[in-house]
Amino acid sequence: MSRPLIDVSSLAMRYPTGRMALTEANLTLSAGELVVILGANGCGKSTLLRCIAGMLKPTSGQIQVAGKPISSLSGRALADARMALGMVFQNANLVKRRSVIANVLAGTLGRHRTLATSLGFLPQGERSFAEACLAEVGLQSFAAQRAGTLSGGQAQRASVARALAQRPLALLADEPVASLDPEASEELMTLLRRVAHEDGLGVLCVLHQPDLARRYADRILGLKDGRVQFNDKPADVAEVAVAALYTKTPEPVAA
């Protein structure tokens, strides 16, 4: 197997308050793989994802994204390195007053840093590609509709289309099903798995639902109090190990 798309080694993150959000975190993500990060609230899942996306600077440790040390980049170099990463957020984060296709086209803006796009024009040359991205998520008939009129599940799928329009190597999804009903959640997870298995993207997905993780993930990474508890195939992850992620450990008393 070639080099992993994302390689995180001995990552540590300390917040200004002194609390350790992450300790000695290691993680790899390869092309064609769907990895789910599980853990209770405040276990460091989002922090880990934000570090990988270069939105937070880790206290120590290395993060390689497609061979680039994203945590030590800034400005234009950081923006270029981020192009390899498509983000899917908890909320779809679409521009509600714009059409669905305009939102997907906006995903290509990183490749089109021209005067015209700076003035608010969309890169029309990408229209057929954006339509293909919409078709990929099953929303081609919604192209002309305002994004604000989509249902929660549709909006989240449109945001996946926007991420795909960016032509990323990997998708980072931060609790993408948190605000979706069970049916829409299944649809979205099916979509993410297909993106990984058929399109060959690496997908890293933070979830709150152990059952979804078991059914869709190629690998599950359990995180508790900022430490990786396990990192295995779903079949090799014991129920008790998952349950242990959600049992409270008493807050360490500050010395």
Partner 1 sequence: MNGFALKTMPSPAPQKAEPRRRLHPLTFVIILFGVALFLQSAIVVHARPQDLITGAAGIADIVSRSMPPDFAGLPDALWPALETIDMGLFGTAIALIFALPLSLFAARNTTPAKPLYFLARGLIALARVVPDLVWALIFVAAVGLGPFPGALAIVIHSLGMMGRLFAETIEDIDMGPVEALTMTGASRLAVFTHGIIPTVIPSLLGITLYRLDENIRSSLILGFVGAGGIGFQLLTAMNLFQYRTVSMLLILTFIIVVGAERISAALRQRIA
Does residue 109 touch partner 1 according to CB under 8 A? Answer: yes
The piece of 6-14, 63-71, 91-99, 222-230 that touches partner 1 (CB under 8 A) is 91-99
Does residue 64 touch partner 1 according to CB under 8 A? Answer: no
Does residue 159 touch partner 1 according to CB under 8 A? Answer: yes
| Alpha carbons 18 and 140: distance in angstroms, whole number | 48
Among 30, 71, 166, 185, the residue binding partner 1 under the rule CB under 8 A is: 166
Instruction: In angstroms, give the least distance from the CB of 125 to partner 1.
Output: 16
Does residue 154 touch partner 1 according to CB under 8 A? Answer: no
Does residue 179 touch partner 1 according to CB under 8 A? Answer: no
The piece of 112-120, 177-185, 209-217, 245-253 that touches partner 1 (CB under 8 A) is 112-120
| Alpha carbons 164 and 81: distance in angstroms, whole number | 16
Nearer to partner 1, 35 or 88 (CB): 88
The piece of 19-27, 116-124, 136-144, 220-228 that touches partner 1 (CB under 8 A) is 116-124
Does residue 198 touch partner 1 according to CB under 8 A? Answer: no
DSSP assignment of the chain equals: ----SEEEEEEEEE-TTS-EEEEEEEEEE-TT-EEEEE--TTSSHHHHHHHHTTSS--SEEEEEETTEEGGG--HHHHHHHHTTEEEE-SS----TTSBHHHHHHGGGGGG--SHHHHTT---GGGHHHHHHHHHHTT-GGGTTSBGGGS-HHHHHHHHHHHHHHT--SEEEEESTTTTS-HHHHHHHHHHHHHHHHTT--EEEEEES-HHHHHHH-SEEEEEETTEEEEEE-GGGS-HHHHHHHTSPPPPPPP-
Instruction: In angstroms, give the least distance from the CB of 182 to partner 1.
Output: 23
Among 14, 19, 68, 111, the residue binding partner 1 under the rule CB under 8 A is: 111
The piece of 4-12, 22-30, 96-104, 230-238 that touches partner 1 (CB under 8 A) is 96-104
Residues in the site for partner 1, rule: CB under 8 A?
53, 55, 79-80, 82-83, 85-87, 89, 91, 93-98, 106-111, 113, 117-120, 122, 159, 162-163, 166
